[in-house]
Amino acid sequence: MIDALIVGAGPSGSYLGHLLAEKGFSVKILEEHREVGKPVECTGLVSERVFKMARSRSMVNTVSGANVFFPNGKSIHIAKGEKTIVMDRDRFDKDVAAMAIGSGSDFSVHAKAINVRTSTDESLVTYREDGEKKEISARVVIGADGINSVVRRDLFSSRPGRVISCYQVDSAAELEDQDSVNVYVGSDSSSGFFGWATPSGKITRIGVGSYHSPAYKYFLRINKKFGKDKILGINGGSIPVKYLKRTYTDRALLVGDAAGIVKPLSGGGIYTGMVSSTHAASAIESAFDAEDFSARKLSSYQKEWKRELGRELWFDGVVHKIFGGISDRKFNALYDVLSKPESIDIINGSGDIDYPSKVVVSLFLKRPGLVSRMLLMR
């Protein structure tokens, strides 16, 4: 029996494999696809914090600002001190998987978990590797298998409460401003989320997330600015933006997207997923120390990831709900408020891609009247 079986070799699963193997545990990682990192379903925007956790050479650009386009056709430009990294997500996933293997994890591609169960003594995973059905027993199993997690389906009785569907393309329309992401808000661009164009060198990643209706129709509108004939590839996917009430059970944990540990305002889940893996590694180590793999013992995982991220994710969720429902008229009123130099200064001084609540809190502390008006908008 191995110590830990991780289902899924995205950033959360591979990083957890690396951390556990470094601690000396025997680890196996199963990845259903033939190739780690493919298909890409990501824009690749992350903070430098992510590159402090992962050793990766996947950076293709950096940006330090955003142009936010409102329904009235006007835009505001915000900029911040530190850089946000635009990376090649395929390469990033391969680099993190290589870290896991380098630390001693056993790794199988084209190995899809199809059934997971636990008993008092073990976790048992049935999987299909290169078409052959196999079974493996582990002391603990970790679901790092993304939004449609099999571990979650078989061992947890819940699903992420809110899911954003996305449509994205790689386009040959090169953005002149390589230092800013374009963000599009309002009913022409999305329903309950936003559209984007991210400069990635010669290529631009153009996409839309949508909560209430298919993202494709909004994408068509945004892409008019860039041209249909420039599309190099289509990708997309769904983002769970509400974490599960419970992310642990007897002999099992869920990390990253499988648990819905994603920032609701931006849909970014790489940083939060890797942070959840850090806490999963600590909880698993302390379960081995105590020889206790009960849900009670593993609950420290949830306590710790929530201590680091819970308040931010909860707050972002509330703001996302409020702004997800506002009308174009209110968005334009928001533009009037946010385009003032005093507001821009506050946003520039406190913007943080991983902790967006800092902006709202700073605006509230420095201009309480403004935030009350924003929150009352519906």
Ligand X SMILES: Cc1cc2nc3c(=O)[nH]c(=O)nc-3n(C[C@H](O)[C@H](O)[C@H](O)COP(=O)(O)OP(=O)(O)OC[C@H]3O[C@@H](n4cnc5c(N)ncnc54)[C@H](O)[C@@H]3O)c2cc1C
For ligand X, the closer of residues 31 and 122 by Cβ is 31
Applying CB under 6 A, does 268 fall inside the site for ligand X? yes
Of residues 68-127, those binding ligand X (CB under 6 A): 112-113
Query: How far from chain centre, in Å, is Cα 6?
Result: 18
Return the closest-CA partner of residue 170 out of 199, 209, 206, 216. 206
> Which tokens hold the place of 30?
């199963």
Q: Decide if residue 324 touches ligand X (CB under 6 A).
A: no
Smallest distance, ligand X to C-beta of residue 377, A? 27
SS3 assignment, position 370 = helix
Site string for ligand X, 222-241 (x = CB under 6 A): --------------xx-x--
The least CB distance from residue 208 to ligand X, in Å, is: 9
Select 70 or 196, whichever has its Cβ closest to ligand X. Answer: 196
**Residue choice 270, 319, 346, 360 for contact with ligand X (CB under 6 A):** 270
The residue within the footprint of ligand X, chosen from 273, 317, 351, 356 (CB under 6 A), is 273
What CA–CA distance (Å, rounded) separates 234 from 41?
9
Residue 245's identity, in one-letter code, is: K
* 45 binding ligand X? (CB under 6 A): yes
Is residue 46 part of the contact set for ligand X (CB under 6 A)?
yes
| CA dist 194 → 178, 187, 265 (Å) | 20, 9, 10
Rounded CA separation 28/13 (Å)? 10
CA separation (Å) from 182 to 59, 102, 119, 132, 280?
19, 38, 50, 46, 35
Instruction: Say whether residue 317 binds ligand X (CB under 6 A).
Output: no
- CA atoms of 314 and 325, how far apart (whole Å): 17
27 is an interface residue for ligand X by CB under 6 A:
no
69 forms bridges with which residues in the sheet? Answer: 75, 184
Q: How far is the CB of 127 from ligand X (least distance, A)?
A: 7
Residue of 28, 43, 100, 152 that binds ligand X (CB under 6 A) = 43
Sign of CA pseudo-dihedral 168, 80, 276, 14: positive
Rule CB under 6 A: is residue 145 a binding residue for ligand X? yes
Q: How many CB atoms lie within 10 A of CB 103?
A: 17
Report the distance separating Cα 184 and Cα 253, nearest Å: 36
Interstrand relation of 203-210 and 123-129 (parallel, antiparallel or unpaired):
unpaired
Contact 251, 116 (CB under 8 A): no
Distance CA 353, CA 359 (A): 10
Choice from 4, 21, 30, 54 touching ligand X (CB under 6 A): 30
# binding residues, ligand X (CB under 6 A): 38
Q: Tell me: does residue 358 bind ligand X (CB under 6 A).
A: no
Fill in the per-residue mask, 6 to 25: x = in contact with ligand X (CB under 6 A), - = not in contact: -xxxxxxx------------
* Complex with ligand X: residue 261 or 346, whichever CB lies closer: 261
Residues 177 and 75: beta-carbon distance below 8 Å: no
Which stretch in 69-77, 170-178, 256-264, 331-339 sits in contact with ligand X by CB under 6 A? Answer: 256-264
Check residue 168 for interaction with ligand X (CB under 6 A). Answer: yes
**Candidate list 4, 21, 44, 275; residue touching ligand X; CB under 6 A:** 44
Contact residues toward ligand X (CB under 6 A) are 7-13, 30-33, 41-46, 112-113, 144-146, 150, 166, 168, 207, 236-237, 239, 256-257, 262, 267-271, 273
